[in-house]
Amino acid sequence: MTSPEKIKIEPSWHRVLEGEFRKPYMGQLREFLRAEKNAGKPIYPPGGQIFNAFNSTPFDQVKVVILGQDPYHGAGQAHGLCFSVMPGVRIPPSLQNIYKELESDLGIPRAHHGCLQPWAEQGVLLLNATLTVEDSKAGAHQGRGWEQFTDAAIHALAEQREGLVFILWGSYAQKKGAFIDRNKHLVLRAPHPSPLSAHRGFFGTRPFSQANAWLEQHGQQPIDWQLPPAAELERVAVEI
């Protein structure tokens, strides 16, 4: 991470979160990441993709928010969107379950890749609570400041926008979004789609059709949840 003036984050989000970059915790986080990198520790996602969720989904274009916890900690997986992996990377188990629910909910065939970039570009903010992780060490960067930063982003959306859909899968996301005003926004809660918990009530919750119905009721274009073939996503690896 660089100085606040050099942070590469989409302008509308920069205006909303500029104050966070100047707070002491972000300086401490910056120094921590610099020290980890100088120690030769691989950190994911690559620096240019850390803010991909924000850069792909401008603040005033957010329609749906899906909250994750940590980036994937395997090489070549994380690219700054929760639950998403780059084209050509094996689809993680949680995302496989998300695809199963999408097929059951809207009849959309399961994609053969795990890149959710097209969702992000339609207004689905795919936000992890922690934006970086060390190779092979899940949760390694928790408690370093990222959670405060992403809390600020969620608070800004909940307070400054209206009619959004917040999809909170699992207890962690539900606690992080507990403050959201249900009179202003639709909040969909369900167990996490991981293999350990999906059978406890994730399947059958129909979040995608519920989200689209809410958006249409509020005069917004629904999300096209069907992902294009991987061949059409080759640009993603170059552009982000």
User: Vertex 160, ends 179 and 29: CA angle to 5°?
Assistant: 70
Angle between helices 146-160 and 24-38 (to 10 degrees): 140
Catalytic, out of 60, 70, 181, 224: 70
- 70: annotated active-site residue: yes
Could you give the CA distance from residue 238 to residue 53 in angstroms, rounded to a whole number? 16
- Reference 90, options 74, 66, 103; nearest CA is 74
Token pair in block for residue 140: 């390694």
Could you give the CA distance from residue 51 to residue 136 in angstroms, rounded to a whole number? 21
Could you give the CA distance from residue 231 to residue 183 in angstroms, rounded to a whole number? 41
Token pair in block for residue 218: 């509020």
- Contact between 77 and 33 under an 8 Å Cβ cutoff? The reply is no
Enzyme catalytic residues = 70
